[in-house]
């Protein structure tokens, strides 16, 4: 699996992050969680989703945008009538990597939303994004042997009271058939030191990746 491009890892993660945030926005809008009986007779309710293609730095991504029955929902993270979204690649890399705290993710999303939604909504969206990312981070890997493991780091901007560069560590396993699998993403706290690389390689999912390790992607 490639990191970028059609069918790449970032496209799938972008879809996950945006849809989790949209669901949090919809919950705030209608006032109840999905499938909650409290929504019956509330005057407005969820009404399925519609597919929307958005253009990001990593290419087009199909997003399922939730709808409400009276058509009053105005999503913020994927605005109506807007097809091009900027800054999505760094946001998705940051939110998908292991190592960010709940507070850091909440601050990051608060910066994305600016003052357009309440703190309670940002907290709810944060919970939804964390849930879907933890599900991806803990996904079971196919039983594979990786003769070669590529490791590298990508610097992205993350808000920690102020915006600062942080490394996102990436590990890619190459199977005996030459296929590449993205095994995981981790956010570091500084430079590419040996101590943190040891942490990444120790925590890396291990379906049997013994073999040579190459430092660059």
Q: How far apart are CA 118 and CA 114, in angstroms?
A: 10
Q: How far apart are CA 107 and CA 104, in angstroms?
A: 5
The mean per-residue pLDDT over the stretch 149-169 comes to 79
Nearest of 2, 25, 28, 27 to residue 13 by alpha carbon: 2
| pLDDT for residue 17 | 93
| pLDDT for residue 211 | 43
- CA-to-CA dists, residue 158 to 17, 20, 70, 90, 126, angstroms: 16, 20, 37, 8, 15
pLDDT at 21 over 90: yes
Surface-to-core class of residue 39, CB atoms within 10 Å of its CB (0-12 exposed, 13-18 middle, 19+ buried): middle
**What is the Cα Rg of the chain in Å?**
19
Nearest of 80, 67, 79, 81 to residue 26 by alpha carbon: 67
Cα end-to-end distance, the chain, whole Å:
13
Please state which of the ranges 59-73, 182-196, 201-215 shows the lowest mean pLDDT: 201-215
Q: How far apart are CA 29 and CA 54, in angstroms?
A: 22
Name the pTM for this structure: 0.80
Q: How far apart are CA 93 and CA 55, in angstroms?
A: 17
The mean per-residue pLDDT over the stretch 89-112 comes to 87
Asked if 189 and 203 count as a contact pair (C-beta separation under 8 A), the reply is no
The mean per-residue pLDDT over the stretch 9-38 comes to 89
pLDDT in tens, 55-87: 988 889 999 999 999 999 999 999 998 999 888
């Amino acid at each position: 699996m490639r990191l970028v491009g059609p069918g790449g890892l970032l496209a799938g993660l972008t879809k996950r992050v945006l849809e989790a945030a949209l669901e949090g926005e919809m919950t705030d809008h209608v006032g109840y969680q999905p499938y909650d009986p409290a929504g019956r007779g509330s005057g407005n309710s969820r009404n399925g989703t519609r597919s929307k293609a958005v253009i990001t730095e990593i290419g087009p991504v199909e997003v399922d945008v939730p709808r409400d029955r009276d058509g009053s929902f105005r999503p913020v993270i994927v605005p109506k009538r807007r097809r091009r979204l900027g800054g999505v690649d760094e946001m998705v890399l940051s939110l998908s990597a292991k190592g960010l705290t709940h507070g850091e993710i909440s601050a990051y999303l608060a910066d994305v939303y600016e003052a357009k939604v309440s703190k309670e909504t940002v907290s709810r969206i944060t919970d939804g994004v964390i849930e879907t990312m933890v599900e991806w981070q803990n996904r079971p890997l196919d039983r594979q042997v990786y003769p070669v493991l590529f490791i590298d780091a990508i610097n992205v901007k993350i808000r920690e009271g102020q915006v600062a560069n942080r490394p996102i560590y990436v590990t890619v396993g190459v199977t005996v058939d030459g296929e590449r699998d993205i095994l995981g993403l981790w956010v570091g706290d500084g430079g590419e030191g040996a101590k943190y690389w040891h942490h990444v390689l120790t925590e890396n999912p291990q379906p049997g990746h013994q073999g040579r390790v190459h430092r660059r992607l």
